[in-house]
């Protein structure tokens, strides 16, 4: 067997694999004998089928399969050993059925699209802006109020406030506004409503200011825009029936539960930040400011990366790509891409491909390597971010490590973690190699800068 490579352009080549009968004959015989041992063939005992019969029945297909396997492996090995920067996949030339009756030796050819050479230079003369977002006092106050509500207490109230829960009997009214007394009347004796969550704010306002023993006329259907599940829960009826209930109801208030925000004390500090992390309100508010700025730092990082991508693409993006080979690859590998729309789809793909090639050269220049510790630490950060979305900011390391293991055990998530970890290490390395010009800005200023970018 012989494998050769001929350059057909700056970024294209043709790979030729020549195979002789001696390269595949033994493997064909082995595979045919394996079929005889493992398959039941009518008229023969399993394991006692004459080789001639096996060859007559299966020889052509097996020979074709073996030749294709050998050729594919040879091409892949050549590409790997010679470190050819192939884009996409090798494209077979002149795919035809093998003429096994008249030929024993065969030649296969593949078109290759190759990545262009990029000599990327890094240095302090390259200046990239980095915008740190400062949290305003108003933002800190808003975050404090949210935490105080989250860790506040529900206590009996005297009148309905905007965030109150209201309990009482909910009775269906007739067209005259009187409580229905017929057998089909809907009556929820131990009802409970949360006006703060009503989708119709006018319905919520009907409850505000009312006290125990007051009666409020409202329309349950309007409170949830007719959601059958919500109506069924509020009125104690089946979902099937709930969707048709559009009449008014009367609620006789028997109990009001209001939320009292937590006081600024050690209990609140510990609930928000962890045991004894801070011991006074000033440090607590300072920690909130840091927390907000850390959350916003992801936006700063996105814009920083965008600036680097923009600079590098403008400088190195005028590269030659094996467009025609890549178009053939797209048509061969994607059912939605055809000869008719491949030009349009390739045009969409080309900028991303160029940036990916540039990023790979940047990673080589920065000597980026990823190990298991890197993946675990990034997975833990992802887990912590997910917990924080639900207000859980004090998760212990053991729990985070356990979630990180689960994330990395999922193949799709693992690949995403690998890509994100690689990007994080790359852009951190670029911060050391380039001149990063940091600026402190407000959130509104940052939004204006990001929109312009």
How does the average pLDDT of the chain come out, rounded? 93
Q: What's the pLDDT tens digit per position in 190-221?
A: 999 999 999 999 999 999 999 999 999 999 99
Q: Compute and round to an integer the Cα radius of gyration of the chain.
A: 35
Nearest of 118, 120, 119 to residue 11 by alpha carbon = 118
- Position 448 scores a pLDDT of 96
Q: Give the range among 95-104, 155-164, 214-223, 292-301 with minimum mean pLDDT.
A: 95-104
- Position 52 scores a pLDDT of 87
Average pLDDT of the residues in 120-146: 96
CATH number of 2-114: 3.30.70.1050
pTM, 2 dp: 0.72
| Residue 55 pLDDT level (bands cut at 50, 70, 90) | confident
Task: Reply yes or no on whether the pLDDT at 387 is more than 90.
Answer: no
Q: Classify the C-alpha dihedral 23-26-30-33 as positive or negative.
A: positive
- Position 212 scores a pLDDT of 97
Percent of the chain with pLDDT over 70: 100
More confident residue, 113 or 411: 113
Task: Reply yes or no on whether the pLDDT at 187 is more than 80.
Answer: yes
Is residue 148 within 8 A of residue 261, CB to CB? The reply is: yes
Q: What's the pLDDT tens digit per position in 82-113?
A: 999 999 999 999 877 888 888 899 999 999 99
Fold agreement (2-114, 153-260): no
- Structural domain spans, the chain: 2-114, 127-140+278-452, 153-260
**Coil, strand or helix: which one is 159?**
strand
Q: Determine the Cα angle at 307 with ends 302 and 309, to 5°.
A: 90
Average pLDDT of the residues in 52-62: 88
CB crowding 39-58: b at 16 or more within 10 Å, else e: eeeeeeeeeebeeeebeebb
298, 304, 305, 311 alpha-carbon torsion, rounded to 10°:
170
Alpha carbon separation from 55 to 31, 34, 232, 385 (Å, rounded): 10, 12, 71, 62
Rounded-to-integer distance, Cα 383 and Cα 307, Å: 28
CATH 3.30.1120 holds for 153-260:
no
């Amino acid at each position: 067997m012989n494998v050769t490579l001929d350059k057909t352009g700056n970024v294209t080549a043709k790979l030729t694999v020549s195979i002789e009968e001696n390269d595949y004959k033994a493997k064909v015989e082995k595979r045919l004998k394996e079929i005889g041992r493992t398959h039941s063939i009518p008229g023969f005992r399993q394991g006692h089928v004459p080789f001639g019969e096996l060859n007559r029945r299966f020889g052509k297909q097996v020979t074709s399969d073996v030749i294709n396997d050998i050729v594919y492996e040879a091409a892949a090995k050549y590409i790997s050993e010679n470190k050819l920067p192939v884009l996409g996949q090798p494209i077979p030339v002149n795919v035809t059925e093998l003429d096994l009756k008249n030929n024993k030796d065969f030649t296969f050819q593949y078109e290759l699209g190759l990545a262009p050479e990029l000599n990327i230079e890094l240095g302090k003369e390259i200046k990239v802006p980095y915008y740190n977002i400062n949290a305003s006092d108003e933002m800190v106050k808003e975050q404090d109020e949210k935490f105080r509500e989250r860790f506040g207490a529900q206590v009996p109230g005297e009148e309905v406030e905007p965030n109150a829960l209201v309990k009482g009997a909910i009775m269906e009214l007739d067209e005259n506004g009187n409580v229905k007394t017929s057998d089909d009347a809907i009556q929820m004796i131990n009802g409970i409503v949360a006006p703060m969550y009503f989708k119709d704010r006018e319905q919520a306002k009907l409850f505000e200011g009312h006290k125990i023993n007051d009666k409020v006329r409202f329309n349950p259907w309007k409170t949830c825009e007719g959601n059958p599940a919500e109506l069924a829960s509020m009125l104690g009826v089946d979902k099937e029936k709930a969707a048709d209930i559009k009449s008014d109801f009367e609620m006789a208030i028997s109990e009001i539960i209001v939320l009292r925000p937590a006081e600024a004390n050690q209990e609140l500090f510990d609930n928000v930040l962890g045991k004894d992390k801070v011991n006074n309100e000033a440090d607590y508010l300072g920690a909130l400011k840091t927390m907000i700025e850390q959350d916003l730092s992801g936006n700063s990082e996105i814009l920083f990366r965008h600036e680097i991508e923009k600079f590098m693409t403008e400088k190195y993006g005028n590269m030659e790509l094996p467009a025609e080979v890549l178009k053939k690859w797209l048509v061969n590998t994607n059912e939605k891409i055809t000869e008719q729309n491949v030009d349009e789809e390739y045009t969409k793909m080309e900028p991303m491909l160029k940036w990916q090639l540039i990023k790979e050269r940047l990673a080589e220049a920065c000597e980026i390597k990823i190990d298991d510790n890197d993946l675990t630490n990034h997975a833990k950060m992802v887990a912590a971010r997910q917990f924080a979305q639900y207000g859980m900011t004090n998760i212990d390391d053991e729990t985070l490590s356990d979630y990180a293991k689960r994330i990395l055990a999922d193949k799709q998530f693992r690949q995403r973690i690998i890509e994100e970890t690689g990007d994080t290490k790359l852009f951190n390395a670029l911060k050391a190699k380039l001149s990063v010009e940091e600026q402190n800005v407000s959130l509104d200023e940052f939004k204006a800068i990001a929109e312009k970018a």
